[in-house]
């Protein structure tokens, strides 16, 4: 039963990744059809991110009330309806309205499944789980490109992804009894889960440092993902096609690195993987900053992505081990919320500064982020567990 449920969770994470890159991939054709300024994509993305942040903060209480199975099925249904709404959108206002449930549903699924896997499965499964998200994130634009290459509307891509999520909802509803059975087997004598407030969580030693690690990790990933191509083009002299390929190398190395991380966790502990990954990412960022031959920049991108690979899943899996299973669900939600805040606000912060300084400062921003991550991770490892009463 546990294996069947784990396969279902993997499939759900592919589904979670499918919509993530759709808006950016579809926007060049969506923008002209909807007749809005090009920059309006940022409004939709901010609403999606805002919904995700809110649902992540509330996920601990929602899991305790509804259970992981029902919350996951309901949230995937919400994202499916939002995607179908995109496919039928008569105007950009409709896109904005659908962005809210899309973000809320995605954030709830992400936090709920991460908490469940951290509590019920081993570290390697968390790494592989996030590899499957990468497969979904790569698959969404591929589905869209099939329609665009055949001179069909971008709406067909959204309709296809939304329909796939409807099928997943049906499977999740049929599998609802599995969640309770696996939970009973895995944590039969374990502590009950308690929902705690953010203020209470912040009084637990190590939680503030953990939140900062998530904030800067996702800031690194999102900033490099958004501005890496511009850096290669404007600073390193790559042509636009090669620059785009270079950034895809970053995401490919993260996905491949997480598959490898799953196997390495048989021999290495989470904290070793996190610290080692951060050092590898630091090395990659330094290579990007140095005035060396052009291939060095690509090596730096690859090493940065490869180093990033274990940080997020291993930090998540360590949550119940570090802070206790009874508070893990709430803390997991807070961590996910800070991760989304980092990915929402740090990339535009760099973009604003770069309008005055140029793209050459990108590695130095990333260097500051990774050093802040390492400092807070070191502080986190030095903290003993000290859980206050809620």
The per-residue pLDDT for range 139-153, each reduced to its tens digit, is 887 888 888 887 788
Distance from C-alpha of 357 to C-alpha of 305, rounded to nearest angstrom: 25
pLDDT computed for residue 341 by the predictor: 92
Please tell me whether residues 27 and 161 are part of one structural domain.
Answer: yes
Residues 6 or more apart whose CB falls under 8 angstroms from that of 95 comprise 30, 34, 44, 86, 89
Residues 169 and 207 in one domain: no
214 & 120 share domain: no
Q: Looking at residue 121, which CATH number applies to its domain? A: 1.20.1250.20
Residue-wise pLDDT for 7-22, tens only, equals 899 998 888 888 877 8
SS3 percent helix, strand, coil of the chain, rounded to 5, is 85, 0, 15
Q: What is the pLDDT of residue 191?
A: 55
* Residue 249, in any domain of the structure: yes
Verify that 206 and 173 share a domain, yes or no: no
| Helices within 265-324 (DSSP H only) | 270-289, 294-308, 311-323
The whole-number pLDDT of residue 73 equals: 93
Instruction: Specify whether 87 is located in the same domain as 217.
Output: no
State whether residue 153 is helix, strand or coil. Answer: coil
pLDDT score for 219: 92
203 with 312, same domain? yes
User: Which residue, 180, 208, 240, sits at the end of a domain?
Assistant: 180
How many folded domains does the chain comprise?
2
In a domain, 148, yes or no: yes
Least confident of 51-65, 66-80, 229-243, 363-377: 229-243
Residues 74 and 213 in one domain: no
Is the CB of residue 167 less than 8 Å from the CB of residue 88? no
Residue 386 placed within a domain: no
User: Is 90 or 17 the better-scoring residue by pLDDT?
Assistant: 90
Q: And the tokens for 243?
A: 């620059």
**Pairwise CA distance, residues 272 & 264, whole Å:** 10
Is residue 122 over pLDDT 90? no
Is 62 a domain residue?
Answer: yes
CA distance 305 to 259: 13
Residue 202's alpha-carbon distances to 111, 207, 336, in angstroms, are 18, 6, 15
Does 189 map to a domain? Answer: no
Does 340 lie in the same domain as 214? yes
| 386 has pLDDT over 60 | no
What whole-number distance in Å separates Cα of residue 257 and Cα of residue 272?
15
Q: What is the mean pLDDT of the chain?
A: 87
The answer on 321 and 254 residing in a single domain is yes
Domain that holds residue 314: 198-381
Please report whether residue 387 resides in a domain. no
- CB-based contacts of 80: which residues, under 8 Å, 6+ apart? 162, 163, 165, 166, 168, 169
Report whether pLDDT(81) > 60. yes
Closest CA to 120 of 332, 267, 377, 275: 332
- Using CA of residue 139, residue 144, residue 150, residue 156, what is the dihedral sign? positive
- Same domain, yes or no: 317 and 272: yes
**Tokens describing residue 138:** 């790569």
Q: Which two tokens stand for residue 73?
A: 């099925």
My answer on whether 272 and 322 are in the same domain is yes
Residue 241 lies in a domain: yes
Give me the sign of the Cα torsion angle 138, 142, 148, 152. negative
Residue 127 and residue 231 share a domain = no
Domain assignment present for 347: yes
């Amino acid at each position: 039963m546990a294996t069947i449920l784990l396969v279902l969770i993997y499939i759900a994470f592919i589904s979670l990744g499918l919509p993530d890159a759709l808006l950016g991939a579809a926007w060049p054709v969506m923008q002209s059809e909807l007749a809005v300024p090009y920059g309006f994509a940022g409004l939709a993305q901010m609403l999606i991110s805002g919904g995700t942040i809110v649902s992540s903060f509330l996920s601990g209480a929602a899991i305790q009330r509804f259970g992981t199975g029902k919350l996951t099925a309901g949230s995937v249904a919400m994202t499916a309806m939002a995607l179908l709404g995109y496919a039928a959108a008569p105007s950009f206002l409709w896109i904005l309205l659908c962005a809210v449930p899309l973000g809320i549903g995605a954030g709830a699924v992400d936090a709920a499944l991460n908490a469940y896997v951290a509590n019920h499965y081993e570290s390697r499964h968390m790494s592989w789980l996030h590899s499957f998200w990468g497969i979904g994130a790569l698959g969404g634009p591929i589905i869209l490109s099939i329609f665009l290459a055949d001179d069909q509307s971008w709406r067909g891509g959204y309709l296809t992804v939304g329909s796939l999520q409807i099928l997943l909802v049906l499977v999740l509803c049929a599998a609802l009894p599995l969640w309770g059975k696996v939970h009973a087997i895995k944590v039969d004598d374990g502590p009950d889960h308690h929902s705690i407030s953010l203020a209470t969580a912040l009084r637990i030693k190590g939680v503030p440092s953990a939140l900062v690690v998530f904030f800067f990790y996702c800031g690194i990933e999102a900033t490099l993902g958004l501005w890496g191509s511009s850096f290669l083009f404007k600073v390193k002299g790559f042509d636009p096609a090669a620059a785009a390929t270079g950034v895809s190398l970053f995401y490919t190395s993260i996905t491949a690195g997480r598959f490898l991380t799953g196997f390495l966790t048989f021999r290495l502990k989470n904290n070793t993987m996190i610290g080692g990954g951060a050092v590898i990412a630091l090395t990659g960022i330094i290579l990007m900053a140095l005035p060396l031959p052009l291939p060095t920049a690509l090596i730096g991108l690859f090493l940065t992505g490869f180093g990033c690979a274990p940080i997020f899943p291993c930090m998540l899996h360590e949550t119940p081990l570090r802070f206790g299973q009874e508070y893990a669900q709430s803390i997991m939600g807070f961590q996910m919320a800070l991760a989304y805040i980092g990915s929402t606000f740090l990339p535009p912060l760099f973009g604003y500064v770069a309008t005055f300084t140029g793209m050459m400062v990108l590695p130095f921003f990333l260097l500051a982020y990774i050093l802040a991550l390492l400092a807070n991770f070191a502080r986190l490892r030095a903290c003993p567990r000290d859980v206050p009463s809620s």
